[in-house]
């Protein structure tokens, strides 16, 4: 059975998504690459519980009201991707994992190689636009 992952696409009022620059530690997967925030689902939790826990651990965010965008099977995992509109002031977030956060436009995200094969998911997200442009 493949492991489960969960991630969340935060989108702001300027239609930008929030990405995390992974730590530059050679022993971790995808060091120094941009990534969608998230993590691994533990044995005793649902993907929804996982994303709440991960955002609390990594960014000290208490989130709710997010929605499921997709469930994608990769070679190494099944990834549950959530999304929510949230205009965060990233300068006020104290990360416990990763180097920094940055808001990316659709174009910038599309021309940046993302960790864990997330480029296709981000492309699908903008193409299907589950959010309102207003």
Q: 70-82 pLDDT, tens per residue?
A: 999 999 999 999 9
Strand residues in the chain grouped as ranges (E): 3-11, 17-21, 34-35, 38-40, 67-73, 77-85, 100-104
The pLDDT mean for the chain works out to 95
Strand 77-85 relative to strand 3-11, pairing: parallel
| Euclidean distance between CA atoms 110 and 34, whole angstroms | 12
CA–CA distance, 63 with 25 (Å, rounded to integer)? 28
Give per-residue pLDDT as tens, 7-40.
999 999 999 999 999 999 999 999 999 999 999 9
* CATH fold for domain 3-128: Nucleoside Triphosphate Pyrophosphohydrolase (3.90.79)
Distance CA 76, CA 94 (A): 30
Domain boundaries, the chain: 3-128
Burial class (CB in 10 A: 0-12, 13-18, 19+), 96: exposed
The Cα 79–Cα 96 span in angstroms is: 22
């Amino acid at each position: 059975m493949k492991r489960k992952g969960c991630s969340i696409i935060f989108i702001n009022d300027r239609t930008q998504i929030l990405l995390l620059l992974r730590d530059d530690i050679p022993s971790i997967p995808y060091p120094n690459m941009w990534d969608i925030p998230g993590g691994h689902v533990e044995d005793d939790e649902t993907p929804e519980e996982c994303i709440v826990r991960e955002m609390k651990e990594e960014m000290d965010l208490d989130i709710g009201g997010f929605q499921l965008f997709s469930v994608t099977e990769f070679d190494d995992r099944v990834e549950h991707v959530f999304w929510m509109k949230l205009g965060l002031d990233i300068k006020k977030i104290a990360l416990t994992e990763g180097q920094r956060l940055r808001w990316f436009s659709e174009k910038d995200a599309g021309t940046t190689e993302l960790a864990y094969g997330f480029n296709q998911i981000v492309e699908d997200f903008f193409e299907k636009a589950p959010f309102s442009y207003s």
